[in-house]
Amino acid sequence: MTDLANFRAKPFLEFLSREQIATLRDVGHLRQYTSGQFIQSRGDAESGIAIVETGAAQAGIYSSDGGFILTSFLGPGQTFGEFTVFTDLPRTHDLAASGPTQLLHISGKRFLQLCEAEPAYLFALTRATLLRSYIALEMLHAVRILPLLPRVAKYLLILTPELPAEPRLKLRQSDLAATLGLSRASLNRALSDLETLGLISRGYASIRIECKSALNDWLEAHIGETEQRWSEQVLS
């Protein structure tokens, strides 16, 4: 059984050597974003890959009622926009900086040239993509089979940044509710339950995870009853 709290989607950059990363920085164009600044819009078609150098990017989609359906936080070393380089697909998500953030932008053409010259970039990208795909399917599966409370817990686990970063999610309950596909009232009640259990604490536009591993233990125990099922690669 995979330990979600300790399972980390190893980011792209960590599959590369120091020299290879240096080359990327040579080719790319570094840009600074202020907290909350808009990075890209869903549907944008121009091709290019971006790598988070410092800070974090918040990926999601704006829903019909204006809420933001968060998909994930992208931390240092993570990439986005690979779709536009290797396929004809437009960008799938809206992105905004979460805190002061530096992004390394590389044009699609340039990145492809790099990959051809040095396949290590492709290996790294493939690995990172597979890991992220794993998590995406994991979430998809959670939505399908987990009862509400464990489902909320699981999302919190997935979204919570790793230590030593502060284990606190800075988002509105209404947005998290939209992300999970449920009403704000239901989400609040679930959070209330988790708070009663001492696993999290609610704040104004923030949720603090008191102890990630305790939350994970609680989740493991509850999933055990329901029987845990893991999704993988497929989806043709």
Residues lying near DNA in the complex (CB under 7 A) are found at 147-148, 172-174, 181-186, 188-189, 191-192, 202-205
Taking CB within 5 to 8 Å according to partner kind, which of a copy of itself, DNA, none is near residue 123?
a copy of itself
Q: Is 170 in the site for a copy of itself (CB under 8 A)?
A: no
- Among residues 61, 148, 197, 211, the one that binds a copy of itself under rule CB under 8 A: 61
> Nearer to DNA by C-beta: 105 or 184?
184
Q: What are phi and psi of 33, to 5 degrees?
A: -125, 140
Q: Look up residue 229 and give its amino acid.
A: R
- Among residues 21, 27, 96, 122, the one that binds a copy of itself under rule CB under 8 A: 122
Shortest Cβ 223–a copy of itself spacing (Å): 11
Q: What are phi and psi of 32, to 5 degrees?
A: -100, 140
Q: Is 109 in the site for a copy of itself (CB under 8 A)?
A: no
Shortest Cβ 196–a copy of itself spacing (Å): 26
In the structure encoding, which two tokens stand for residue 114, read together?
A: 């790099």
Q: Is 141 in the site for a copy of itself (CB under 8 A)?
A: yes
Q: Is 212 in the site for a copy of itself (CB under 8 A)?
A: no
Report the alpha-carbon distance of residue 134 to residue 128 in Å, rounded.
10
Would you give the DSSP letter of residue 13?
Answer: G
Q: Look up residue 113 and give its amino acid.
A: Q
Segment contacting a copy of itself (CB under 8 A): 54-62, 101-109, 167-175, 208-216? Answer: 54-62
Q: Look up residue 104 and give its amino acid.
A: L
Q: Which long-range contacts (CB under 8 A, 24 or more apart) does 13-17 make?
A: 13/51, 13/76, 13/77, 13/124, 14/77, 15/120, 15/123, 15/124, 15/127, 15/128, 16/120, 16/121, 16/124, 17/120
The answer to whether 146 and 219 have CB atoms below 8 angstroms apart is: no
Q: Give the residues lining the site for a copy of itself (CB under 8 A).
A: 2, 9, 11, 42, 59, 61-66, 69, 71-75, 78, 80-83, 86-87, 89-93, 115-116, 119, 122-123, 125-127, 129-141, 143-145, 178-181, 226-227, 229-236
